[in-house]
């Protein structure tokens, strides 16, 4: 690896023969709420190659991931993930209906080189949904109960790497640790994106994970990495609110229901620091069952997507860029009436000469595949 990530060790830096390895991956996948089946197994297919690589290196592998969040429709066990992981890796991966209790520890204890098992959903352990310092996470029950049975740690969960949770930051403090191949590829792309020659850099942020997005923006601003941040979705509503703009009672109430209004002071602080954050000037809204467009300052309907004037404005910003990062959809893409903003913004990014990275949720990746290349 080159650039600022060159000091991060990878699989090439550790001998895995006869070692028990904790492999943290991210196979969090879209789940059909009616059948609870996996509707897109792309992440599982990608990570299966890491499992195969470690098995071929002579390791015994303890695979771990999360699926959904407690209280959400996609929060479920990993049984179906294991079936697909076994299929794509070409080896049997045993499912353990436990995370760090006696059943899991016993299975890990007797795991042999060339064998693999997968723990149940990490977020069944309450510690995994709480963020804290790496030092505190290293002392959690999850790490303290499993680490003595392990000899190495591999982090291949790039999409989850920003979270300070036990399975991400706790194990590296107590075990020899390296980045997996998926992580390495993503870091190489990120290193290229953040190089001096790639400015100006434009970030297009949307989706429902506004807490994560605000953390990302705070980090970008503190390091001077963003030349423009184009906001959509719930994030845009919050930024407009922080600017003192009236977004309409329906949208204010929705933000209250989502419990995200506590982010407004943090966003206001970013704006006061001169953060280059842009907001939409019109929206596609839903009002009394009818779809229409409303300009900023006259919002009465429920905001569902960015409007056509916003797309035009954001297009001009992206034309200037040498690097574009897009994360999260611009609208409520579960409803086909509100996908235009996301699809058009992706197309605009791909039509520029900028290096473009599309990140975000599974549905966002699905949409990106329908766009021009």
Mean pLDDT of the chain: 91
What percentage of the chain exceeds 90 in pLDDT?
A: 78
Any idea what the Cα angle at residue 114 is, between residues 109 and 116, rounded to 5°? Answer: 60
Q: Are 343 and 349 in contact (CB under 8 A)?
A: no
Question: Which of 120, 57, 122, 123 lies closest to 93, judged by CA?
Answer: 120
What's the pLDDT tens digit per position in 145-154? 999 999 999 9
Residue 85 tokens read as 């992981």
Q: Residue 315, Cα to own-chain centre: how many angstroms?
A: 25
> Global pTM?
0.75
Determine which of 53-62, 97-106, 319-328 has the lowest per-residue pLDDT on average: 319-328
Residue 115 tokens read as 């064998």
DSSP letter for each residue of 37-60? -BS--HHHHHHHHHHHHHHHTT-E
Instruction: Please give the torsion angle defined by the CA atoms of residues 38, 40, 44 and 46, in that order, rounded to the nearest 10 degrees.
Output: 180
The answer to whether the Cα torsion of 15, 17, 18, 20 is positive or negative is positive
Tell me: pLDDT of 282 over 70: yes
pLDDT at 347: 95
Residue 24 tokens read as 């943290």
Cis before 282? omega within 30: no
Who's near 215: CB < 8 A, 6+ residues apart?
Answer: 162
Query: Counting Cβ atoms within 10 Å, is residue 208 exposed (0-12), middle (13-18) or buried (19+)?
Result: middle
pLDDT at 1: 45
DSSP letter for each residue of 142-165? HHHHHGGG-SEEEE--GGGTTS--
**Residue matched to tokens 């703009």:** 245
Secondary-structure breakdown of the chain: helix, strand, coil percentages, each rounded to the nearest 5: 45, 20, 40
Average pLDDT over residues 221-247: 95
Tell me: pLDDT of 371 over 60: no
Residue 285 tokens read as 């809204």
Tell me: pLDDT of 3 over 60: no
- H or E element at residue 306: strand 302-306
Tell me: pLDDT of 198 over 60: yes
Tell me: pLDDT of 329 over 90: yes
20-24 and 201-205 strand pairing: unpaired
CATH architecture of 3-183: 3-Layer(aba) Sandwich (3.40)
What's the pLDDT tens digit per position in 82-104? 999 999 999 999 999 999 999 99
Average pLDDT over residues 52-61: 98
Q: Under CATH, which number does the domain 190-368 receive?
A: 3.40.50.1260
pLDDT at 361: 52
The answer to whether the Cα torsion of 319, 324, 330, 333 is positive or negative is positive
Q: Which one is predicted more confidently, 121 or 32?
A: 121
Determine which of 12-26, 246-260, 289-303, 346-360 has the lowest per-residue pLDDT on average: 346-360
The answer to whether the Cα torsion of 96, 97, 101, 106 is positive or negative is negative
pLDDT category, 144, cuts 50, 70, 90? very high
What's the pLDDT tens digit per position in 292-308? 999 998 899 999 999 99
Give CA–CA dist 216/267, Å, rounded.
Answer: 12
Query: Counting Cβ atoms within 10 Å, is residue 188 exposed (0-12), middle (13-18) or buried (19+)?
Result: middle
| Every domain range in the chain assigned CATH 3.40.50.1260 | 3-183, 190-368
pLDDT category, 209, cuts 50, 70, 90? confident
pLDDT at 191: 78
What's the pLDDT tens digit per position in 211-230? 989 999 999 999 888 999 99
Tell me: pLDDT of 238 over 90: yes
């Amino acid at each position: 690896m080159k650039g600022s990530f060159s000091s991060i060790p990878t699989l090439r830096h550790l001998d895995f023969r006869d070692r028990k390895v904790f492999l943290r991956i991210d196979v969090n996948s879209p789940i059909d709420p009616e059948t609870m089946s996996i509707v897109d197994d792309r992440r599982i297919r990608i990570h299966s190659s890491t499992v195969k690589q470690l098995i071929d290196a002579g390791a015994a592998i303890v695979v771990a991931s999360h699926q959904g969040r407690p209280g959400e429709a996609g929060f479920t066990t990993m049984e179906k993930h294991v079936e697909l992981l076994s299929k794509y890796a070409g080896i049997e991966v045993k499912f353990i209906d436990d995370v760090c209790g006696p059943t899991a520890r016993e299975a890990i204890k007797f795991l042999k080189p060339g064998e693999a098992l997968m723990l149940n959903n990490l977020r069944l352990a309450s510690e995994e949904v709480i963020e804290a310092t790496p030092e505190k996470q290293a002392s959690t029950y999850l790490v303290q109960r499993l680490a003595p049975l392990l000899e190495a740690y591999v982090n291949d969960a790039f999409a989850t790497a920003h979270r300070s949770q036990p399975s991400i930051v706790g194990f590296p403090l107590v075990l020899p640790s390296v980045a997996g191949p998926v992580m390495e590829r993503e870091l190489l792309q990120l290193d290229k994106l953040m190089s001096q020659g790639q400015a100006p850099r434009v970030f297009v942020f949307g989706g429902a994970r506004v807490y994560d997005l605000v953390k990302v923006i705070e980090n970008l601003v503190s390091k001077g990495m963003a030349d423009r941040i184009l906001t959509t979705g719930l994030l845009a509503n919050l930024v407009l609110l922080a600017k003192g703009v009236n977004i309409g009672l329906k949208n204010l109430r929705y933000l209250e229901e989502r419990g995200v209004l506590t982010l407004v002071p943090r966003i206001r602080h970013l704006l006061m620091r001169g953060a280059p954050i842009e907001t939409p000037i019109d929206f596609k809204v839903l009002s009394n069952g009818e779809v229409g467009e409303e300009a900023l300052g006259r919002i009465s309907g429920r905001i569902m997507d960015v409007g056509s004037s916003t797309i035009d404005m954001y297009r001009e910003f992206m034309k200037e860029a040498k690097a574009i990062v897009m994360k999260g959809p611009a609208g409520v893409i579960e409803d086909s009436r509100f996908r235009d903003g996301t699809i058009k913004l992706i197309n605009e990014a791909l039509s520029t000469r900028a290096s473009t990275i599309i990140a975000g949720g599974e549905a966002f990746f699905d949409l990106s595949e329908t766009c021009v290349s």
